């Protein structure tokens, strides 16, 4: 199987199962390690070297044997599960599910390309790129209140000399936590400042929650489609990711209940308001139903609430309905101030917060008081509320322009957003192995355009090709020209 970059060197590592040929990875050759593992296992299953019911090596065994990360193995196994070649059994591992793979789903041999984009492409996050950042999650600096933010940073740098000692408060800057608690109490639900933990952005918050509440092998529910980085982060922690379908109507509650019965999840991540990438919000009825299912099947709900300030008042709030009994709320300021400041927050029950603080200190001690002071100055400044209102109006206008521009190239929305930064839209074209969102995104990158294809956000195979568009950058002739050329080539 050298054509897959895998060599059956039996002396390199003891086989964990007598029917499993050891496959140390060759580092040479084209293609990712995940691609090589998937292709090799597919061949072994099709060639009956691995028979139905064979137990695969554990994630840790495979990773240790080949000197690779567990994340790589988890991603490969997950892809094989999606293809239907493997299935996972809670607490027991992965097993061969079938002996043949439909031709339509067969892995495509890797073809080297001069440029490739994935969900962790640095240009999607740095803001330092020559490409048009249509798929990025950040806005142009001028859309934020630049003067307010710069003034807040200058004020934060005037930190008292006696605060230069030590690392800062483990929970975060007290004045900011108190302000957050007061604001949430006034607008959503009662919370004490000691129930607020500041983090290095929302992703850091997700990481702390996963470290605190899960162990490798636990099942974690996500929305499908959902936030792309979160999928990678959950897999990195060795958890089994199960996607719950979400569309314009909301979450598929019947699928959620069935999966909960089958897999006994530890927690679920939910973007209640202005969901990324769809831009939709759950109704109050759906929020109540979701809480009832969490209670029935005893799992935590992590409410990703980072877009709430951009939403209309009165949208459903899981934390408000639940009172932080089994809901953990995650907030951030990257969408209303600037991602550069990297300040997020966790609101949780008084019983859970001490363990979250302990894990925060174990993994990084404290967060930056300078950044937290800057955020505090910005959100307590008089212009802040007007700044957020202006930003919401700009996004609304940007959405209207984006939807019109996308219609001109024959694209239709996957869902109609209720607000926020994104419009997801595409063509009613069935993807194929050689023509799909990733292939088009790679072509776009070579043309100087950063796109975020549906594959970044989905666990299921999509029946169409679509992309998440940032409304601040979508109404550009460069993008329209590229999309029109793609449409012309594929009819």
Tell me the pLDDT tens digit for each residue of 272-319. 999 999 999 999 999 999 999 999 999 999 999 999 999 988 899 999
Q: For residue range 437-482, list pLDDT tens digits in order.
A: 888 988 888 888 999 999 989 988 888 999 999 999 998 889 999 9
d(CA 145, CA 121): 27
Q: Average pLDDT over the chain, rounded to whole?
A: 83
Q: How confident is the model at residue 119 (pLDDT cuts 50, 70, 90)?
A: low
Q: What pLDDT, on the 0 to 100 scale, is given for residue 246?
A: 96
Q: Tokens for 324?
A: 């932080």
CB 219 within 8 A of CB 239: yes
Burial of 1 (0-12, 13-18, 19+ CB in 10 A): middle
Q: Cis ω on the peptide bond leading into residue 236 (within 30° of 0)?
A: no
- Identify the helix (H) or strand (E) that includes residue 482: helix 477-490
CA distance 206 to 269: 9
Find the radius of gyration of the CA atoms of the chain. 23
Does residue 113 carry a pLDDT above 50? Answer: no
Coil, helix or strand at residue 426 = strand
pLDDT number for residue 37: 83
The predicted model gives 403-412 an average pLDDT of 93
Residue 227: name the closest of 167, 177, 290, 272 by CA.
272
pLDDT at 164: 62
Q: Is the confidence at residue 389, as pLDDT, over 50?
A: yes
Kindly report the pTM of this predicted structure. 0.73
Q: Which residue has the higher pLDDT, 205 or 342?
A: 205
- Angle CA(239)–CA(244)–CA(249) in degrees, nearest 5? 155
Give the sheet arrangement for strand 250-251, strand by strand: 196-199, 344-347, 327-332, 300-304, 267-270, 219-224, 240-247, 250-251
What gap in Å lies between CA 139 and CA 336, rounded to an integer? 9
Does 257 score more than 70 pLDDT? yes
Does residue 225 or residue 446 have the better pLDDT? 225
Distance from C-alpha of 328 to C-alpha of 262, rounded to nearest angstrom: 24
């Amino acid at each position: 199987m050298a054509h897959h970059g895998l060599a059956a060197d039996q002396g390199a590592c003891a086989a964990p199962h007598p029917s499993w040929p050891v496959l140390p990875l060759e580092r040479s050759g084209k293609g990712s390690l995940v691609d090589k593992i998937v292709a090799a296992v597919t061949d072994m299953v099709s060639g009956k070297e691995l028979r139905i019911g064979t137990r695969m090596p554990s994630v840790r065994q495979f990773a240790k044997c080949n000197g690779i990360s567990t994340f790589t193995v988890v991603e490969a196994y997950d892809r094989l599960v999606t293809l239907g070649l493997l299935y996972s059994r809670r607490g027991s591992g992965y097993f061969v599910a079938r002996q043949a793979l439909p031709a339509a789903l067969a892995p495509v041999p890797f073809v080297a390309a001069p440029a490739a984009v994935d969900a962790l492409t640095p240009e999607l996050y740095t803001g330092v790129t020559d490409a048009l950042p249509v798929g990025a999650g950040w806005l142009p600096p001028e859309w934020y209140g630049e003067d307010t933010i710069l003034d807040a940073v200058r004020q934060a740098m005037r930190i008292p000399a006696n605060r230069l000692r030590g690392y800062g408060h483990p929970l975060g800057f007290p004045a900011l936590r108190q302000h957050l608690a007061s604001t949430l109490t006034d607008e959503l639900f009662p919370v004490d400042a000691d129930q607020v933990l500041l983090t290095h952005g929302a992703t850091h918050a997700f990481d702390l929650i996963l470290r605190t509440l899960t162990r490798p092998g636990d099942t974690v529910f996500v929305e499908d489609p959902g936030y792309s980085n979160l999928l990678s982060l959950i897999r990195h922690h060795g958890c089994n990711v199960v996607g719950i379908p979400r569309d314009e109507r909301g979450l598929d509650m019947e699928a959620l209940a069935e999966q909960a019965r089958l897999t006994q999840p530890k927690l679920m991540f939910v973007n209640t308001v202005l969901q990324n990438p769809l831009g939709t919000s759950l109704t109050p009825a759906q929020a109540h139903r979701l809480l009832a299912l969490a209670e029935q099947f005893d799992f935590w709900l992590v409410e990703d609430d980072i877009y709430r300030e951009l939403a209309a008042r009165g949208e459903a709030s899981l934390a408000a309905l639940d009172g932080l009994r089994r809901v953990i709320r995650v907030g951030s300021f990257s969408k209303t101030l600037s991602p550069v400041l990297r300040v997020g927050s966790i609101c949780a029950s008084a019983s859970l917060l001490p363990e979250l603080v302990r894990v925060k200190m174990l993994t990084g001690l404290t967060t930056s008081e300078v950044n937290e002071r800057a955020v505090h100055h910005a959100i307590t400044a008089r212009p802040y509320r007007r700044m957020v209102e202006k930003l919401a109006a700009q996004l609304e206008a940007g959405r209207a322009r984006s939807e019109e521009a996308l219609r001109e190239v024959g694209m239709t929305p996957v869902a109609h957003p209720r607000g926020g930064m994104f419009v997801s839209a595409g063509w009613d074209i069935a993807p194929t192995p050689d023509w799909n969102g990733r292939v088009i995104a790679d072509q776009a990158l070579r043309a100087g355009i950063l796109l975020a294809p549906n594959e970044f956000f989905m666990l299921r195979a999509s029946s169409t090709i679509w992309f998440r568009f940032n409304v601040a950058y979508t109404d550009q002739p460069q993008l329209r020209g590229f999309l029109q050329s793609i449409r012309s080539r594929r009819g």
